[in-house]
Amino acid sequence: MDVKEIIKPENQVYGKTELLTDNVMHYCPGCTHGVVHKLMAELIDEMGLQEKAIGVAPVGCAVFAYNYIDIDWQEAAHGRAPAVATGIVRINPEKFVFTYQGDGDLASIGAAEIIHACNRGENILVVFINNGIYGMTGGQMAPTTLEKMVTSTTPCGRDTALNGYPLKMTDLVAQLPGTSYVTRQSAQSAPAVRKCKRALKKGIKNVLDKKGTSFVEVVSTCNSGWKMTPVKANEWMEENMFPFYPLGDMKDSEKDKPVSNN
């Protein structure tokens, strides 16, 4: 049978959203970024938000997020995405603005910006990819690196006496009155991906309803940085990351928050 005979609408079981560009992703095989990019692209498409959406890309592996989702983007300085998003949304409150940040970007150099953006209740969605390591720079310790976890700057494992403790950003921002929906998800299996998509959708909806900051952490793998196969990395994440970073909603305030009149 010729391939052309197979490619027919009635045979299609899966289609890529047009909002995901045809650019070949630079992510390593097994990386979680590609999955979460796809979910965001699908949701923006399904919810008809292409013209409303402005993404803010981080510094880190997802620095080139703007090459993959076909919307207007701005590339922030390291850690400053929540401040950049604040600038965009304050001036254009009718837009759907989201940041897409890794754990080095959000939890380390950008800790001040994320805390204050969440505390002001900026009307944005924060997508937080937590793989416990600096991926792009070659596997150094992140604030989220687990105790005893080996990285290139903790070759004998993270020693809390030397390096302090892994930081649970999602727990922190859940305490802040400005956040409306705070959840921790993962994307290593089909059910997890579907759940993650529902969480992202809820976050987007909250932003459209002007409920303040929505914060979706996705506990992720970095099989290159962790020096594991993709399959082994997923197992390691389930065994080691999930006990310290348990999945589930941490905050879901249904009550309408007043939006800043500024």
Give the interface with other proteins as residue ranges (CB under 8 A). 50-54, 56-57, 63, 66, 70-77, 80, 83-88, 90-92, 95, 112-113, 116, 261-262
Q: Give the residue with the Cβ less far from other proteins, 114 or 187.
A: 114
- CA proximity to 102, closest of 54, 55, 135: 135
CB of 18 vs other proteins, minimal distance in Å: 10
Q: 136 — phi, psi (to 5°)? A: -65, -40
**Which pair of tokens denotes residue 99?**
């940041």
CB of 45 vs other proteins, minimal distance in Å: 12
Q: Give the residue with the Cβ less far from other proteins, 132 or 178.
A: 178
Q: Give the residue with the Cβ less far from other proteins, 125 or 233.
A: 125
Euclidean distance between CA atoms 154 and 229, whole angstroms: 21
CB of 52 vs other proteins, minimal distance in Å: 6
Instruction: For tokens 């976050």, name the residue.
Output: 203
CB of 262 vs other proteins, minimal distance in Å: 6
Q: Give the residue with the Cβ less far from other proteins, 50 or 253.
A: 50
Q: Give the residue with the Cβ less far from other proteins, 60 or 166.
A: 60
CB of 5 vs other proteins, minimal distance in Å: 32
Count CA atoms closer than 13 A to 233's CA, side-chain side. Answer: 23
CB of 158 vs other proteins, minimal distance in Å: 27
Q: Give the residue with the Cβ less far from other proteins, 74 or 153.
A: 74
The answer to whether 216 touches 185, Cβ cutoff 8 Å, is: yes
* Overall residue count recorded for the chain in this entry: 262
3-state class (DSSP) for residue 119 = helix
**Residue 47 per-residue DSSP state:** T
Q: Give the residue with the Cβ less far from other proteins, 169 or 199.
A: 169
Euclidean distance between CA atoms 215 and 250, whole angstroms: 10
- 124 burial type by CB count under 10 A (0-12 exposed, 13-18 middle, 19+ buried): buried
Euclidean distance between CA atoms 97 and 83, whole angstroms: 12
CB of 20 vs other proteins, minimal distance in Å: 12
Euclidean distance between CA atoms 40 and 20, whole angstroms: 9
